[in-house]
Structure 1
Amino acid sequence: MLASHEFGQLFLAVRATTGETQQQLGIRCGLSAGRVSDVERGQHHLRFGEVIARVAAGLDVPPGLISLGRSQPSSESASVDSDEDWAERSDYIAIVTAAATGSRLYPELERLDAMLPVRAEPVRRLHIGNADVAAIEAITDGFRRSDFASGGGVCRAAAIAQLHQVRQLEKARCADPVRTRLLMATADLAMMVGWMSYDVDEHAAARRAWAFALKTAWQARSHERSTDLAVDVLLDAAHQALHRQRPKEALRLVQLAENTAADREQPISAITRSYILVSLGWCRAALGQAQPCRRAMGEALDALAAADPATTPSWAWHVNDAEIAAQQGHALFLLAQIHPRFAAGAVDQLHHAVNGYGEPFARSRAVNQASLAAAHFYAGDIDAAVATGEAAVSAISRLNSPRAFARLQPIADAAGPFLRRSEVAGLCESIRAARSGAAS
């Protein structure tokens, strides 16, 4: 723990996240590269208060996690579990790094189960087997299908309650392979709770659930799909950061996902590799970096072409031609917001995606309709933009997904130069009314 000034694991985790050398980290913390190496290998411990404070400041470690004496916990550490802190805290990437690597540097990781919303009545099971875990996996799959079709708000409360119920099984007797499978099923369910929470704008709850999922996936790290799951959790968190207009934070999370994939014993699937590259492309697009974006998306297509269905994680069953087109189209749409010359390509890909999604993917189709409408505006096709925009408003209004409603705003932004046209003004009024109704 940092209270005993053991910084070795933290140095390793930070360098895994940032890609820094020991010398670069030492410059940040006011230490030599040799001293950083000694600390990482446990051959030297930081003891002097001034040095510890300087290192903590260099690493952005919250003061509440550092004990330089016998003082009581600060008010900052006492309030660290609040929703606002989890939504906004600047050290979230360090927290998920600790969760993904099994570090005990952050005490709140040990209390995540108590911080999840809704408590459950105890489930008294003395013994569980593969059939019990299979039932949990099937229920999580049902939540995932509901989320794709209708949005996270429909089943989120049920998923949270299910997560608490599943956690009650931790003390039941079972064979070691069943225990590992149970941990993976629990982590997958927590990942789903995080995504559904994000979909309904419960951002702090999403972050806590994802940190819990990472911690649990680490406990199941011998499972052949554990690295895939940990990486997907980090990419979900990156998706949230992009949605909240935080592309630099999203990029750091994607880089952490890359490092996690490289450092774990279990290899990732080609599908997961493609998601890393897609997410990297989205980050580069949001930062206006066209060439790195297109390079990442091209590599993502190569990874998808090499994907073997036999190694595809169970939670990636939704990846099809429409989803691949949507991934490409979204990257081009992000670029089109900065460089309109990419609008035509975005229209082509998003049109293919919208036409390819069936009813089981109603939310995916609706949010891509919204992006398609905005892309039409950027491409100068006003009639198509209005028609597609009205269809997007209608489709999104049937969902229980505040995140989807937020995707209507880019249409209004793109429509700005054309507001003198009555049909464009009417579309913007439809968007305003839909978002106002969703918020009430």
Structure 2
Amino acid sequence: MRSVGLSAPIPPEFYERVNIRKALENYDFGSVFTAVRGRTGLSQTRLGILVDLSQSRISAIERGERRLGHVRVVARVASRLGIPPHLLGFPGRENGSLAAREVNWVDRRDFLMLVTAALAQVHQIRALENAECSEKVRTRYWVAAAELAATAAWLAYDLEDHGTARRLWAYALDATRKGEDHPRSTDLAVSILLDMTHQSLHLWRSEVPGDRRRQEALSFAQLASATSSNRKHPVSSMTSGYISAVTAWCWAALGQGEPMRRAIATAQDHSGAADNIPPWASLVTPAELTAQRGHSYYLLSLTEPAAASTAVEQLAEAIDGHVIEHARSRAVALPTLAGAYLQAGDYDSAAKATTDAINAVTSTSSARCYTRLRDLDRIAARHDREPVVAELRRQIRVAAPATV
């Protein structure tokens, strides 16, 4: 343990108490922090030093106003307080703690175990590539392999493991080519290319410098459009609409307002169609479609500030429309709404949206959402001559430091 006020390590049996086990099971670190401070006599400030959190964040967590949502922070806290890993759903360690290494995303029990399982299944299914079977079965195999790899790629992307995501998407694309006789192959290939577009735009906002990513994103979107018309089976109208929506983001990122608006109009023309709806389209709600348009106007506002008011209108409507089951969609959209308010010069609304964004993001386990917060900080830096903006930047840096 670090010499910051603990005279001796907290014994593992302390955490085996019924009330503390229950708190750890629910990731209720407010109760855990209160119990630890009661045993050790640490102040909130000293506890914060021990676990690398600010006193204000410790206080907010103890009051139930904030939660620890990022697995790396949870791992760090567990390591430094000597919390047995199994009580948090982590695999056990020989030394009974996380001190050997602060675990990463692939150790988390729910979402993280799903990632691990998906990656393992990709390896298993690739071992069957040369198995003897009929052509019909082989075609179905390639599409199933592509779907599995694409899912694993998106999970890796959400963890900010971009190299793994790219490799999995590349494999998935090749699998759709080999399974091109299947009716789903074209639609699946296009959705993979649009996922890669999404990633490129994300990297554009998070990398310094990242300007090359904007053109890369547009190239992926254009390839998706070409693929949609050059394969054996046509794509659904919903997929065509999604191509246009994502292409609108690319034009907006490049500061091209007119082609962006044309792409949005095309997307809206397709959105009401009901023919051959692909599996992923079940997740595309009216709120999601509105958020897509709002995101385009937000990206455009970075070069054309006048677009910010439309971005605010669309994003606010989308966030209000997201049901509670779509918490991650809200967590992704709220930092963008805060940024749109900043671009529009409405600093008080930006501050409120930032608070909502921090609460939403820290209640998820998405590294990508934390990157959105850090991107918001970069946008806010343009406006921090305003005291309210300087304060919201401070809150962002506490919630989403450069390294966590």
Which runs of 5 or more structure 1 residues have no equivalent in the other structure? 1-149
- What amino acid is the match of 1:299? T
Q: Where does residue 230 of structure 2 map in the other structure?
A: 263
Q: Where does residue 52 of structure 2 map in the other structure?
A: none
1:277 has 2:236 as partner: no
Distance verdict in 2 for CA 1:335–1:185, change over 3 Å = same
C-alpha separation between the residues in 1 aligned to 2:395 and 2:130? 53
Shift of 1:417: 4.8
C-alpha separation between the residues in 2 aligned to 1:206 and 1:162? 15
Is contact 1:153-1:400 (8 Å) kept? no
Q: Where does residue 171 of structure 2 map in the other structure?
A: 212
1:223 has 2:190 as partner: no
C-alpha separation between the residues in 2 aligned to 1:176 and 1:298? 41
Q: 1:301 aligns with which of 241, 255, 268?
A: 268
Shift of 1:416: 3.0
C-alpha separation between the residues in 1 aligned to 2:199 and 2:130? 33
Q: Where does residue 167 of structure 1 map in the other structure?
A: 126
Q: Where does residue 365 of structure 2 map in the other structure?
A: 400
C-alpha separation between the residues in 1 aligned to 2:324 and 2:396? 23
Counting only pairs closer than 5 Å after superposition, residues 27-426 of structure 1 correspond to structure 2 as: 153=112, 155-170=114-129, 176-245=135-204, 246-308=213-275, 311-426=276-391
* Offset from partner CA, 1:6-59 (integer Å, 9 cap, x none): xxxxxxxxxxxxxxxxxxxxxxxxxxxxxxxxxxxxxxxxxxxxxxxxxxxxxx
C-alpha separation between the residues in 1 aligned to 2:305 and 2:326? 28
Distance verdict in 2 for CA 1:345–1:151, change over 3 Å = farther
* Offset from partner CA, 1:216-262 (integer Å, 9 cap, x none): 11111111111000011111111111111111011111111112112
C-alpha separation between the residues in 1 aligned to 2:262 and 2:170? 30
Q: 2:393 aligns with which of 403, 421, 428?
A: 428
Is contact 1:271-1:312 (8 Å) kept? yes
- What amino acid is the match of 1:333? Y
Q: Where does residue 70 of structure 1 map in the other structure?
A: none
- Percent of paired sites with the same residue: 43
* Offset from partner CA, 1:108-152 (integer Å, 9 cap, x none): xxxxxxxxxxxxxxxxxxxxxxxxxxxxxxxxxxxxxxxxxx997
Distance verdict in 2 for CA 1:348–1:241, change over 3 Å = same
Q: Where does residue 71 of structure 2 map in the other structure?
A: none
Shift of 1:204: 1.3
C-alpha separation between the residues in 2 aligned to 1:350 and 1:428? 21
Shift of 1:153: 4.9
Shift of 1:425: 2.2
Is contact 2:142-2:175 (8 Å) kept? yes
C-alpha separation between the residues in 2 aligned to 1:221 and 1:306? 24
Is contact 1:151-1:400 (8 Å) kept? no
C-alpha separation between the residues in 1 aligned to 2:170 and 2:347? 44
Q: For structure 1, which segment, 381-390 or 393-402, has the greater mean C-alpha deviation from structure 2 after superposition? A: 393-402
Is contact 2:347-2:388 (8 Å) kept? no
- What amino acid is the match of 1:279? V
Is contact 1:151-1:401 (8 Å) kept? no
C-alpha separation between the residues in 1 aligned to 2:307 and 2:236? 30
- What amino acid is the match of 1:272? T
Q: Secondary structure at 1:348's aligned position in 2?
A: helix
C-alpha separation between the residues in 2 aligned to 1:165 and 1:269? 31
| TM-score, normalised via structure 2 length | 0.67
Distance verdict in 2 for CA 1:367–1:219, change over 3 Å = same
